[in-house]
Chains A and B, each alone.
Chain A
Amino acid sequence: MIQSVDRAVAVLLELQGARRLRLTELANRLSLPNSTVHGIVATLVTRGMVEQDASGRYALGPGVLRLSNVYLDSNELRLRALSWTEALAERSGCAVRVGVPLERDIVVIHHVLRPDGSHQMREIGIDIPAHGTALGKAVLAFDARRAEELLAAAPLPKLTGRTCVDGEELAEQLARVRDDGIATALDEAILGESEVAAPIFDAHDAVVGAVGIVLSSSAATGDRLINDEVRRTAVSISRELGASAWPPRSRPRTSAGS
């Protein structure tokens, strides 16, 4: 690990969480001397990754947007998912999201709005604790090491009163996801919202993410047709990514490249 690179990343992540910080606030959060942090942020400012506002506080700079756009435009999973998720949204009438795992979260990398023309929040870039979303459960079911680490990280946070935070119960849910490839969440991330999701595999037959729909909890869940639509979408995207089978017969213990 290169210490200065690690510290530069830590600065960016602190600014992501807090949005705007003074030098001393940044230094306190990182437990580093002001002078050390000043050198790092000054460098990041000259490269456009951080900017300083009129009151002297630091925030993420426009260079970060350029990076994130390139991430979205070159992420193979997202590119392969574009047309399939559009079609799934049209057929189901629901919002569709694609997520990838990052540490204990799922980061949404693609979001097709519910096709009813209503005002909806755009969710690209949001992160949701993996155990609280069907996208996360779909990934965890086929990534044993990630699931083990997550279950060992108790206590898991509750996002609503219905978030499953019990390790044993969660492990049982993941076993059921392995059986039929479908993960569900009912009011677990947000009250009133339910999800149906399925895992996506790559050419190494490793799980790389998941695709899922979001539907109102008052609508029927456990609908076989909906499950089939979601499963078919995950199969199609996986096939385009080079997966040999869905779900893979012999599962690698961990995702390749992570």
Chain B
Amino acid sequence: MTSMDGVPDPTAGAGSPPATAPATHLDGGLVRRWIAELDQRLRAAEARLTELDAAIGDADHGTNMTRGARAAMAALAEHDEDTAAARLVAAVGHSLSRSVGGASGPLYGTWFNALGRSLPPELPATAMELATALGAALDAVQQLGAAELGDKTMVDALAPAARQAREVAGSGADLAGMLRIAAGAAEDGAVATIPLRARRGRASYLGARSEGHQDPGATSAAIVLDALRDAADA
């Protein structure tokens, strides 16, 4: 996996082909780069996610997510090199729902599963197809969690990302460009959860005491999308 983890290879000669053109489609290779990037990002963010979760939850979100990323990497390794993006994304969902635990397991499992089911089954996905799938994945998560925008959950990051993706894909943006906008919207959405009062999940037990803390689920959701943006830009 060392060729996928984003560390520049010092042995690469000047004559090697540039592997850095922004992606135009979501194919199996991009899914693998996405999850490898996500694995690294979550490990780097584990302490922060745990700290955020300690304020309004059970302080296990960081470890739950890194465990999930490891399981997702292992699941991808079991698939053939030429497996389609849709199938890989669904496999990630399946492994997350089994390994993450808590509320994040079923929620991220559902998000990736619905994303995978909505992507074209064989061919790489265009920007518009990915934008549509991001909308379907959001719907599935909202159905499972009964959360609306502003309830201080991962929906606060995923919903603006899906909406922005659809808008910019509709106006003809390429995949990497669309993901830059979507990941930015997710990050803004996560930060915007700080003043909100939690209305779903364990944090809702705290009522007003949940105000003033960034939601750990929205934070990790923004990381998921930023890892995809990064992989697509590479």
Q: A18-B208, A123-B205, A192-B105 are known contacts. Are A161 and B54 too (CB-CB below 8 A)?
A: no
The distance in angstroms between the C-alpha atoms of A187 and B110, with both chains bound, is 14
Q: A118-B60, A192-B101, A218-B101 are known contacts. Are A158 and B146 too (CB-CB below 8 A)?
A: yes
Inter-subunit contact A163/B102 (CB<8 Å): no
Interface residues of A in 159-173 (CB under 8 A from B): 159-163
Interfacial residues, chain B to chain A (CB-CB below 8 A): 54, 57-60, 98, 101-107, 142-146, 200-202, 204-209
Instruction: Report B216 CB to chain A, min CB distance, Å.
Output: 13
* Chain A interface SS verdict (over half): loop
Asked if A120 CB lies within 8 Å of chain B CBs, one says yes
Q: A121-B202, A192-B102 are known contacts. Are A163 and B146 too (CB-CB below 8 A)?
A: yes
Binary contact readout A18-42 vs B (1 if CB under 8 angstroms, 0 otherwise): 1110000000000000000000000
The distance in angstroms between the C-alpha atoms of A158 and B143, with both chains bound, is 11
The distance in angstroms between the C-alpha atoms of A218 and B208, with both chains bound, is 30
**A-chain residues with CB within 8 Å of residue B207 when the two chains form the complex:** 17, 19
Question: Can you give 30 contacting A-B residue pairs, CB < 8 Å?
Answer: A17-B207, A18-B208, A118-B59, A119-B59, A121-B57, A121-B58, A121-B205, A126-B205, A128-B205, A158-B146, A159-B200, A159-B204, A160-B144, A160-B146, A161-B145, A187-B106, A191-B103, A191-B106, A191-B107, A191-B144, A191-B145, A191-B201, A192-B101, A192-B102, A192-B103, A192-B104, A192-B105, A193-B103, A217-B106, A218-B101
Asked if A68 CB lies within 8 Å of chain B CBs, one says no
Taking A160-B145, A161-B145, A218-B98 as known contacts, 20 extra A-B pairs with beta carbons closer than 8 A to each other, sorted by chain A number, are A19-B208, A20-B208, A118-B58, A119-B54, A119-B59, A121-B202, A121-B205, A121-B206, A128-B205, A159-B204, A160-B144, A160-B200, A161-B142, A161-B144, A163-B146, A187-B106, A190-B202, A191-B107, A192-B106, A218-B105
